[in-house]
Structure 1
Amino acid sequence: MTNPVLAFVFPGQGSQQIGMLSDTAKAFPEIGATFSEASSTLGYDLWDLCQNGAQEDINLTERTQPLLLTSSVALYRAWLANGGVKPACMAGHSLGEWSALVCAGVLAFDDAVRLVRERGRLMQEAVPAGEGAMAAIIGLDDQAVEAACAEAAQGGVVAAVNYNSPGQVVIAGSAAAVERAIESCKAAGAKRAMPLPVSAPFHTELMRPAAEKLASQIEAAVFNAPEMPVIHNVHAKSEANPAAIKALMVEQIYSPVRWTSCVQAMAVDGVSQLVECGPGKVLAGLTKRIDRSLAAFSIESPAQMSEAIASTAV
């Protein structure tokens, strides 16, 4: 059964924590089974890494990406196995778009694990450590952030890359240009402008080499038509054609994440409930800033899972 007003949203990098999903794994066998499946594909014990490893290990992009994909798919499987209804549509923030595609039946989980590991490796390789940066700009409208970036570029690369909610935009680019843009945003009246602890300038033109290298692997993978609409980061619309979805997943690597527009598009289509399917509650928080009329649920813990399943039952 599908709930016509329910959407699932999947988080991206930054939601990972050592020890995450430990209680959930005890309650739902789907968690351990999904992690075992991913570990077989990766060649190392992903569950042990996220329970007993170091935070700096899971913050390595080529490990973060398979870890968050696996966490989200595991929670979605547990949701369905425990009586949760299927959503009417899905979206994922950056990396989370791959989780949405797996859960919408576009590609096999093991293929996605391989692709996002490679995606992470190539994105990290594209810009040497220390040469790129990202920063969160709070309390400035999109146009003012874009103008500050244009002023600060001075031949370098800096751009708005994550339109997360009204008044919250992430910028990224070469380290010196981002530093100049932070000062420009402060001068323009930003409440806060703070560097983010990330290892590469994601979703900028600097990522285009990574996208070009990953394109052949995406092209070789089997993509199916989605079982339900997936709203894409690049243009905040759904796409039914597998070849077009492949092209969007390449373009997504060096294009801004238009998250505010994605959530607004779902609301226009009649969505009134969102479930954040992954560790943390970043997207649930952003949802409230984008559209206060939307009910947002997290399902990271067994209690949250039970409450969300009951609240979204048709």
Structure 2
Amino acid sequence: MSCRAVLICPGRGTYNKSELGYLARHHAGAPLLGAFDDMRRGAGQAPLTELDSASRFDPQTHVTGDNASPLIYACALLDRQALAEDIELVAVTGNSLGWYSALAAAGAVTPKGGFEIVGTMGRLMHERGAGGQIVYPCTGPDWRPDPARRAGLMRILQEIDGQDGILRLSIDLGGMLVLAGDDAGLAVFTEAVPQIDGRFPMRLPHHAAFHTDLMAPIAEAGRAALPRSLFRQPSLPMIDGRGAIWWPGGTDLAALHAYTLGAQVTQTYDFARAVRHAAREFAPDMFIIAGPGTTLGGSVAQSLITCDWRGLDGKASFQDRQEEAPLLVSMGDPAQREIAAG
């Protein structure tokens, strides 16, 4: 019996110390990985297999955009190809960088075309990226929506932006907000909000002010370097960072090129809305998060809770549902991977 699933591709920050060796463990010898390595060598960059097989995880090497982005893309796309035959994908989405992986997973670009996009944008972000990002929770430990708390955080953001520095909403992760701006804006926000669990506000290393207008020069450079001819009609529906759906046979390729290398780079990425729209429009049996990493699971669950998906009203009900029959599977989790992988 087939399982109808929405595939979710992860973004930056998901290839960390525990993910070192992910490609070797799950995709050793994959022809596509060899092709990616050849493309990296041709560009004078370290092959992915070399990075993945390093003796130790080095943040100065593995977390920078020119290396992290292609590593994450390769893990996600090869995981998509490793799905079990009884899994019927009904749609694809992703978080931030995961949009590039989603394009390839849905057939809107070839695997090599997607690798060219992610490699180019990762290199541009590494070389020209400005500002940074901070993560801060907008729900409590029960994962239930807290509109007042969220509104208070947005008021703080609006008061800081343009007065004490630059601060914008970069990514809406459901229960977490990713804020981006210049160092001054990030510093004022850090001082203005309470510390939570000794972790938040959390500054993300080697991250620029993604999904804000500070990235406009990078978006322009990306459009100049990456032609419209890379794009083609997707074979699966894709939900983007606005919650908009790109349909097979009905996608305007010029618009897809413009969005991917325009608004997707410079405007807020509403991942929570993308998840909600995927749930409501396609009613999947399961959400599958491609590797690497497992950190996106909480954000997907929190996004589903915000729309009361299948009666989910908090962390406890989600955990109960997971024990009965998994609604959410992370391929980066060895135990859960067996559910999704062939």
Shared fold, TM over 0.5: yes
Deviations 1:47-76 (A, max 9, x none): 121220633211111111111111111111
CA RMSD of aligned residues (A): 2.6
Confirm or deny that 1:284 pairs with 2:279: no
Q: Shift of the alpha carbon at 1:193?
A: 2.3
How do 1:96-107 residues align onto structure 2 when only pairs under 5 Å count? 96-107=98-109
Change beyond 3 A, Cα 1:172–1:28 = closer
Counterpart residue number, 2:204: 196
Cross-structure match for 1:66? 70
Map Cα deviations across residues 128-159 of structure 1 (whole Å, 9 max, x no partner): 5xxx2211111364433322112112163211
Q: Which amino acid aligns with 1:254?
A: T
| Counterpart in the other structure of 1:16 | 15
Tell me how far apart the structure 2 counterparts of residues 253 and 26 of structure 1 sit (CA, whole Å).
32
Please name the residue that 2:174 is paired with: 165
Q: List aligned pairs for 1:1-150, cutoff 5 A.
A: 3=3, 5-18=4-17, 20=19, 22=21, 25-26=24-25, 32-43=30-41, 44-52=46-54, 54-79=58-83, 82-127=84-129, 132-139=131-138, 141-150=149-158
Structure 1: give runs of 5+ residues left out of the alignment: none
SS at match of 2:179: strand
Structure 2 partner of 1:238: 245
Please state whether the residue corresponding to 1:201 is helix, strand or coil: coil
SS of 2:227's partner is helix
In the aligned structure 1, how far is the partner of 2:77 from the partner of 2:52? 15
Paired amino acid for 2:292:
P
Find the partner of 1:183 among 173, 188, 191: 191
How many Å separate the matches in 2 of 1:19 and 1:32?
21
239-248 or 69-78: bigger deviation: 239-248
Q: TM-score, normalised by structure 2?
A: 0.79
Q: Give 1:291 shift.
A: 1.9
Q: Is the 8 A contact 1:157 1:173 kept in 2?
A: yes
Letter of the 1:40 partner, please give it: D
Identical-pair percentage: 22
* Structure 2: gaps of 5 or more residues: 140-148, 311-317, 319-326
* Other-structure match for 1:259: 271
Deviates more, 1:296-305 or 1:95-104: 296-305
Shift in alpha-carbon separation, 1:180–1:290, aligned structure 2, 3 A: same
Q: Relative to structure 1, is the Cα distance of residues 42 and 210 closer, same or farther in structure 2, using a 3 angstrom cutoff?
A: same
1:2 Cα offset (Å): 7.3
